[in-house]
Amino acid sequence: MKVFADQLPGALAKRLPQAVIVAGDEPLQHRDACDAVRAAARQAGVEEREVIDVEPNFAWGKLLEVAGNLSLFATRKLIEVRLGRQKLGQDGAKVLGQYAEQLAHSDDVLLISMGKLDARQQKSAWFKALDKNGLFVPVWPVDASRLGFWLRDRAQRHGLQLNMDAARLLGERTEGNLLAADQELQKLALILPANARVSVEDIAQGVEDSTRFDVFNLADACLKGETTRASRIVYGLKSEGVEAPIVLWALGREMRTLLSLHQHLEQGQSFEQACKAQKPMIFDRRRPAYQSAVKRLPMRRLHKLLLMAQRLDLAVKGASPVPLWQGLHDLALTLAGGRGLLAEAAWTYRLH
């Protein structure tokens, strides 16, 4: 059964399942989810813990050996399988399927900690067998639109009260880096009195900029029409040393996807059908952003943006005098619905 990270403590309070799969790349929520499972296991009387770190060329038979070993000190044990970024592989999938078959005859609890699971992996036999008797906790980065509310609630864990203006400023300075945000809240909890109200001034004076962005953050901001955020992300990517061709690839991919959506819509398909026709398919969570972008960006404008992208591609190769990062900023801002520093007329002139 799928349970999101913020719902996990409540689900564990009702029952401790025989298997929990925590999957995703956001480290803070991933850590919290695993800690919640460990705490629930201790509360249920599971005193022994076996940790299996999966490394390259790992012998998956070890999991079945650990599961089959009788404990001298306890009747139940928590078995943690930590994959990190390692791939499960055929051997791992086979052994997990075998383990799932033995669940009816075991009192142990299995905690699998791993990276993201795609839709294909969630349809695999091993996943379905474990999910049937357990919990699946997908760990997603907190969307920028929800980040302020998330930080406000997180502050309460540290005995702080964060108003929305302060939460938004903290979000701007730590976006993409929830570990840094949590550390800043911990520091504030040490400095300020218990149950203190944290102001914008407290955040402005005490919190350094720890934002971390990737090109997927930029694509989301552009699709949602978040011009200020898109501008900030472009310069953040530049300062972090992200290569310009990667940024251009991400923006170009979104523009081609939007053009494809327009084409399917012109053929009389519904928006849902158009999303399903994309490769890879656009999932429900991202469809509102694409729908907003399709309404905002007609095909003619998208074709102009692709011409801008072609000119930037020449700049990457040293065959165009266009200032590369300013051009990427201009492209992203225009895609988001704003207007870059290089006027569109100037781009049209450069392109002919």
Q: What is the CATH number of domain 144-206?
A: 1.10.8.60
Q: For the ranges 72-81, 106-115, 169-178, 309-318, which has the lowest average pLDDT?
A: 72-81
Please report which confidence band the pLDDT of residue 72 belongs to, taking 50, 70 and 90 as the band edges. Answer: low
In CATH terms, 215-350 corresponds, of 1.10.150.240, 3.40.50.150, 3.40.50.11540, 1.20.272.10, to 1.20.272.10
- Domain covering 5-139: architecture: 3-Layer(aba) Sandwich (3.40)
DSSP state of 121: G
Domain definitions of the chain by residue range: 5-139, 144-206, 215-350
Q: How confident is the model at residue 349, as a pLDDT? A: 40
pLDDT tens digits, one per residue of 298-307: 999 999 999 9
Q: Of 342, 339, 345, nearest to 325 (Cα)?
A: 342
pLDDT tens digits, one per residue of 206-246: 787 777 888 988 999 999 999 999 998 998 899 889 999 99
Mean pLDDT of 66-92: 82
pLDDT tens digits, one per residue of 320-336: 888 899 999 999 999 99
Q: How confident is the model at residue 341, as a pLDDT? A: 57
**Structure pTM?**
0.72
Q: How confident is the model at residue 127, as a pLDDT? A: 93
Q: For the ranges 21-35, 140-154, 202-216, which has the lowest average pLDDT?
A: 202-216
Which pairs with CB-CB distance under 8 Å and at least 24 residues apart come from 228-234?
A: 229/144, 230/332, 230/333, 230/335, 230/336, 230/338, 231/329, 231/332, 231/333, 231/338, 232/172, 233/332, 234/325, 234/328, 234/329, 234/332, 234/333
